[in-house]
Amino acid sequence: MTQSTEMQVTLRLPTRTLHQGPASRLFAEAENGAFGMLPNHVDFVTALVPSVLILTLADGDEQVFGIDEGILVKKGHHVDVAIRRGVQGEDLASLKETVQRSFIEVDEDERVARSALSRLEAGIVRRFADLQRPKTP
Share of the chain above pLDDT 70, in %: 86
Mean pLDDT of 74-92: 89
- The count of C-alpha atoms lying within 13 angstroms of the C-alpha of 5, restricted to the half-sphere facing its C-beta, is 4
- Mean of per-residue pLDDT scores for the chain: 85
What is the number of other CB atoms lying within 10 angstroms of the CB of residue 7? 21
pLDDT of residue 2: 65
**Dihedral of the alpha carbons of 29, 49, 31, 24, in degrees to the nearest 10:** -30
Contact 24, 17 (CB under 8 A): no
pLDDT of residue 25: 95
pLDDT of residue 43: 93
The tens digit of pLDDT for each residue in 93-114 reads: 776 666 666 666 666 667 777 7
Is pTM beyond 0.85 here?
no
CA angle 49, 50, 55 (to 5 degrees): 90
Instruction: Parse the chain into domains and list their residue ranges.
Output: 1-137
DSSP character string of 16-30: SEEEEEEESEEEEEE
pLDDT of residue 106: 64
What is the rounded distance in angstroms from the CA atom of residue 87 to the CA atom of residue 9? Answer: 15
The tens digit of pLDDT for each residue in 22-43 reads: 999 999 999 999 999 999 999 9
Q: Which CATH number fits domain 1-137: 2.40.50.220, 3.40.50.410, 2.60.15.10, 1.10.3720.10?
A: 2.60.15.10
CA angle 87, 93, 95 (to 5 degrees): 10
